[in-house]
Amino acid sequence: MESYLNALNDPQREAVTHQEGPLLIVAGPGSGKTRVLTYRVAHLIQQGVDPFSILSLTFTNKAAGEMRSRIAQICGDEARNLYMGTFHSVFARILRVEGQRIGYPSNFTIYDTADSRSVIKGLVKQYGMDEKKYKPNQVFSRISQAKNSLLTYDIYQKDPEIQSEDLSSGRPKTGFLFEQYVKKCHQSGAMDFDDLLVNFYKILNAFPDALYRYQHRFQHLLIDEFQDTNVAQYAIVKKLAAVHHNITVVGDDAQSIYSFRGATIDNILNFERDFPELQTIKLEQNYRSTKAIVKAANAIIKENRNQIPKEIWTSNAEGNPIEIFRAASDNEEGKIIADRIVELSLQQQIQKDKFAILYRTNAQSRSFEESLRRRNVPYRIYGGLSFYQRKEVKDLLAYLRLLVNPNDEEALRRVINYPKRGIGLTSIERINLKANALDTTMWDVVARADEFEGLGRSRSSIQAFGILIQSFQTMLDKKNAYDIAFHIAKTTKILAELNADKSIEGISRYENILELLNGIKEFVEEDTVRDGEDFSNDRSLGAYLQNIALLTGDENEKSDEPAVNLMTIHSAKGLEFPVVFVVGLEEGLFPNQMSIYDREDLEEERRLFYVAVTRAEKLLSLSFANTRYRFGNLQFCDPSRFINEVPREVLAVRNQGSPPPSSQPNPSKSTYKVPQKTTIRRKAPVQHSDPSFVPDDTSTLQQGQRVLHQRFGEGEVLSIEAHGRDRAARVHFARVGEKKLILKFAKLKILA
C-alpha cells in the first residue's frame, strides 16, 4: 500500500481509495478533509487516471495552490497537468477558448466589483434615474443574486414576485438596469465574476458539442467546500458529471453559513437525489479540539432538523470546561475578555496570536479594541479594518473634530462634500488656493465664502456648508457629546443614507455608525477613569475626542508583534486557534433578530455558532452582556438560546460580571447562577409563523391596550413614545417581561 495511505484513518482511507461513481465526503470540523481531498487526487493519478481528465474545484486560490503543491510531492510533475483552481479561475480559462460562441473575444476583460458598480452608476446617470434610490452597490448586489440563481434579465423582469420586491424597495427599474448592464458588458467585451459562471453554463446548455467535449474531458470531478456552492455552480458540475458520474464532493452541511452570498445548503442535503448510486463517507474524528469542545459542538448542532446526521468524536484530552462570562454591559464584556487574555498569557505563557475573539457583526469589535488598547494588548482585525479606521466611522468623527477645531484641514477636506453637496475636488482646491493667497485657513475661507470671489459655481454650496458647521458649533457648550454626534448624523443625513443601503456592505456600515454612537452614549453616561485621566465630570465632545485620540494614537505601531485576532465568525471559517472567545451571545444579536422567526434562518445562525465553537483547540469561552445601547437607549438583553444548548456538564462560570443597574431592576438577570437550562433561557420558546396570524395596523395603538405578539405572547401597552420618526411601545408581556418595540416592525395583533 502506498506510503501516503498509511497516515490515514479508516474512513479517510476509504474516501481516498474510492474507485468510481459519486462520492459524498461529509467532513466534520478538524477531520482532515483537505488531506483527504488532496490524497484522493494523488491516488487517482497513482492508479493511472490521466491528470488532464481531472477537474478539482476549490473556493480560494490559496487552497488550490496548497493542494497542487502536496499532490506534486506524491506525483511529481504530473500535478502540473491538473485542471485545478477556483470555480472562477478554471471557468475563465475555458471561456478564453469558448467565449466566442456567445460573442465574446478571447481576450475579454474581467470586471471586478468596482468596475461593475462604475458601469451601473453610469447607466443610472444615462437614463436619468434617481441616484439616491439606485445606488450601484445595491443594484449590483441584486443583479449578482439573480445571476447566481441562473436568472436571466428577461426572466427577472417577468417574475411577479421579484418585481413586487423591487417595487417595495423603491427600485422598480432594477430589471431594466439588469438588462442594460448585461448588454453594456457584452458590448465592452467584459464579464464580471458572476458571468464566468453564467456564461459557461450558457455554453454547456446551448452547444451540445461543447457539453460533450467537457463531459468527456473531465472524467473525474472533485469539489471542495460543497456546502458553499450556489445554484449556478452546482448546475455546471452536475452537467459535467452527467456522463461518467465520477464526482466527489467534500463538505459539511453543519458549516453551511453563506446563504447571504447565494450558497444553498440544499446542494449537499439533496445530492443523493441527483446521484442515487451515491456512496457517503463520514469523517467524524476531530483532531483539533478537546473532548469538552467536541461534546458541546455535537449537542449544539443536534438542535437542527435539516442536516446529515453525524457524531463527531476525538481521542484528544478532556480539556478544560467551557467558560461562561456574564457582563453588565458590552463595554464590561470587552474589559472582561481583555483581562482574561492578559491573565492566560501570563499564567500559561500563551502567545497573543494564539487568541481569537469571534463576533457576529463587525460593529462589535469596538468595545474589544478599546479594552485591548487600554491593557496595551496588540491585536489585529482579520479580513477588515480596525473599528476607528473604517470609512464611515472616520467620516462622522471628522465632523466632530471639525466642530472642536475648525482649523483641522484634514477633517474639513473629508466632510465638506460628504454626503455629497456639490463641492468637488476642483472647488476644494480653489478654497485651498484662496486660503494660501490670504495666509489664512481653509475654514476661514469656507466660513466667509460670501466675501470671496473665485470660488466658482459651488460658492453657494460652500457657504451653506459653513453655515451648517457653525450651527453645529452652537451646541458645543449646551449639549453633551452624544447629543451633538446624533444630531450631526441625523441632520447631515449620514444615518439615512447608510440605512437606505441594504447590501451586505451597506448594512455593516450602518451598524458601524450605530456602534460609534453607542460608544459615545456610553462615554457620556459612564463615570470612569480612562487612560489615567478622570473624565467623569466632562461629557463634552472635546473630552470624547481626546479619549479616542489617546486610544487610537498608536494604532499602526507594533505591527510585527504577535497579536490577538479579532474577526467575524464568517471570517473565521477554516481557521483554528488554541484559545477562542465567542462574544455577544444575546438574543437578537446572536441569533440575529431577523432570523428568530424562521426555522431555516435560525438553523443557519446555529450552524454559525457551531463553526465558532469548533474553531477552538484548547480553551473556549462564551460571553454575553446584560445591557447594550441601541439608538441611544439602554436595552436589556437576554442570553442567547444557544448557550442553553451547550451541555451544562462542560460549562463553568468564570465571571458573573457586575449586577444589572439597580435603577432598572431585572430580577431574572440577577438570579443567574451556574448555567442551567432552567435559568438561562428567559425568552419564550421560538414560535414559528402561524399562517392565520395577521398583524393589525398599530398607528393608533394607545397605552392600556392589550396586544398579541407571535413570539412574546399577550401583553399590555405601558406607554407610547417617539423613537426618532417612529413610534415605539413599551409592552409588558406575561411570559417575558417588559419589551420596547418599534411599532412599524413589531407585528402586533390588538386584542382590546
Q: Which residues are catalytic?
A: 33-34, 224-225, 255, 615
Task: Say whether 224 sits in a helix, a strand or coil.
Answer: coil
Residue 191's Cβ-count burial label (10 Å; 0-12, 13-18, 19+) is buried
d(CA 546, CA 400): 11
Looking up cell 456574564, which residue turns up? 326
Phi-psi region of 655 (alpha: psi -120 to 50; beta: other; left: phi over 0): beta
Q: Which 8-state DSSP code applies to residue 685?
A: P
Cβ atoms within 10 Å of 76's Cβ, excluding its own: 10
- List C-alpha distances in Å: 198 to 95, 235, 242: 11, 10, 19
Which cell is 625 given? 452582556
Strands (E), 368-440: 379-381
433: burial class by Cβ within 10 Å (0-12, 13-18, 19+)?
A: middle
Residues 625, 328: contact at Cβ < 8 Å?
Answer: yes
Cβ proximity of 554 and 404 under 8 Å = no
* Complete DSSP assignment for 235-296: HHHHHHTTTT--EEEEE-GGG---GGGTB-THHHHTHHHH-TT-EEEEE-B-SSS-HHHHHH
Neighbours of 276 (CB within 10 A): 7
**CA-closest candidate to residue 184, choices 99, 131, 111:** 111
Cell triple for residue 375?
Answer: 491593557
First to last CA, the chain: 77
Cβ partners under 8 Å of residue 448, min gap 6: 466
Residue from 273, 207, 204, 217 nearest 244 by CA: 217
Distance CA 647, CA 292 (A): 9
Reduce the DSSP state of residue 737 to 3 states and report it. strand
DSSP 698: -
* Phi and psi, residue 717, nearest 5°: -75, 120
Alpha-carbon distances of 732 from 435, 618, 736, 738, rounded to whole Å: 60, 43, 8, 4
- How distant is the alpha carbon of residue 653 from its chain centre? 29
3 state SS of 672: coil
Residues in the chain, how many? 752
CA 124 to chain centre: 28
- Residue carrying the nine cell digits 448586489: 141
d(CA 22, CA 244): 9
Considering only CA atoms, which of 482, 415, 480 is closest in space to residue 442?
A: 415
